[in-house]
Structures are given as C-alpha cells and as structure tokens.
Amino acid sequence: MSDITRDEFASAVAAAISSVQHLYREVDHLIVGLRDMLAEEPNSLIPVRGTLGKSGRSQSRLVIRNEYGALFAPAIIDEDDEDAEEEDEELDDTAEDADDDIETARRKRPPAEIGADQALLALRIAMYDPQKPDSFEPQIQYAVMSQWVIGKNAWAPDQRFVLARYMLRRVPRALSMSAGIPRGGRLITSAKVKRAVGGKKSDDRRLGCMLPAGVEAFPLYSLDSATALRQLAERMKTMWAAKQA
C-alpha cells in the first residue's frame, strides 16, 4: 500500500468494482438474450425451472461465478414457470453455489424428475478457470444431452430419475469435463439421483447421459453484436433439431 496514495487506492477500488459490475451486467444480458431467442419458434426451448442463474438484480450484491449454466427443454405450459426466474435470483442472493448453505431455499422447491428418454439442451458459460487463469479464454459450451442413466448402467428408456432441484445445476457444469468425448459418447455428471423409478439399482448415484452431437464451444469475445448472438442461438437450435433426425 505504501507505493500508492490513499486517494489512488480509493480510485483503484472504485474502478475495479465498476469494471466487474459492467462485465457481469453484460453476462446477464447475454443470458437473457439467449433465453429469449431460444424461446422463439420453431423448436421453442425454455429454461428448466431452477437452472437459469444470473448475477442478480441488486447493484449492492453481485454474485460473481467462474461459470454459469442452464438446461433448456421444449416449452410446456406450467403455471409455476412464471416464478422460476425470480426464484433463481433469490437463490443467487443466498450464494446457491455453496450447496451446503442453501438448505432453507432448497426445501421450498419440489424435486426434479428426468425421464431416461428425455432430451435437454445444456448451456455453460465459462468465465474463468482458476487452474489456468492466464491462458483460459471465456467461452460458451453447449450440447444436447439424452439417454440418461445412473453411473455406467445400461440405458433403460422407461426409467425415471428423481433428484433435488438444485442438483440440476450440476448437470451443465459437467460440460467442463467433456474434452475428448466424441459424438455419441457418454458423460458422467456430479448430479446425484435421490431415487430411480424402474431399471436396475446402482451404488453409483451420479447422473450420466449421452452427447449425441458432441459438445460445441464458442468464444465470448466473438459475441460482439445482436447478430452474432442470434447466430449462436440458431446453431444451438440446429443441434437440437438434429437430435430428432
């Protein structure tokens, strides 16, 4: 501190906080823009309840994460969907990433259920990697996930998996471990299943899936216009449509 004056220190702190606030406001705009574009017809996709996280609405309490994630599914009329985004922001204000510290918020949410034959679009916005801070490039990863299983069990199309809703946020995070997985390969997430309906039992409770189209990545630096963002959303929808071919 002795190398700078008191005023210089105050100015540097203000500049740093202002820059971070600006960066994460832009990330929020990016998330909202993708959400709105993916919801457009055809192949309308909307966020799975409880998975769309942002940095929050309050300028006095900004949630800064190394990564953001979301799951998207075909639009289904659900009277609870209107409250989903608001609930996500409330979890942001309670530091939802610390799973052990959100018991109160967790109890308010009904469990989630995923069918083994259900397809979801996973989105991960990677902002920072503490393992390689200087060489990492911020990017968006996305993939279609399907053919859900527990651990390395064989796929049983009629099986259903029940898990705590907060566990859904661990599913798109698994894209960080997808390097080297080819199209049609399988990925094991850190989301743990509470119980499985049908199929064989397993000691491994981790939820796994197939990546029919692999994983695509796009640098955040290139998203410099509304046109670029729309083109990215169209790529995501193209991947989604291809899963049905």
* Predicted confidence (pLDDT) per residue in 76-87, tens digit: 744 444 444 444
Q: What's this model's pTM, rounded to 2 decimal places?
A: 0.83
| Residue 132 pLDDT level (bands cut at 50, 70, 90) | confident
Is residue 38 within 8 A of residue 51, CB to CB? The reply is no
Per-residue pLDDT, averaged over 103-127, amounts to 83
Per-residue pLDDT, averaged over 176-194, amounts to 93
How far apart CA 35 and CA 33 sit, in angstroms, is 5
CA angle (232 as vertex; 117, 217 as ends), nearest 5: 70
Beta strand pairing call for 160-163 and 112-115: antiparallel
Q: Which stretches does DSSP call E strand in 30-117?
A: 45-47, 67-74, 112-115
| Residue 214 pLDDT level (bands cut at 50, 70, 90) | very high
Specify the range with the lowest mean pLDDT, choosing from 79-93, 123-137, 151-165.
79-93
* Dihedral over Cα of 78, 80, 82, 87: its sign: negative
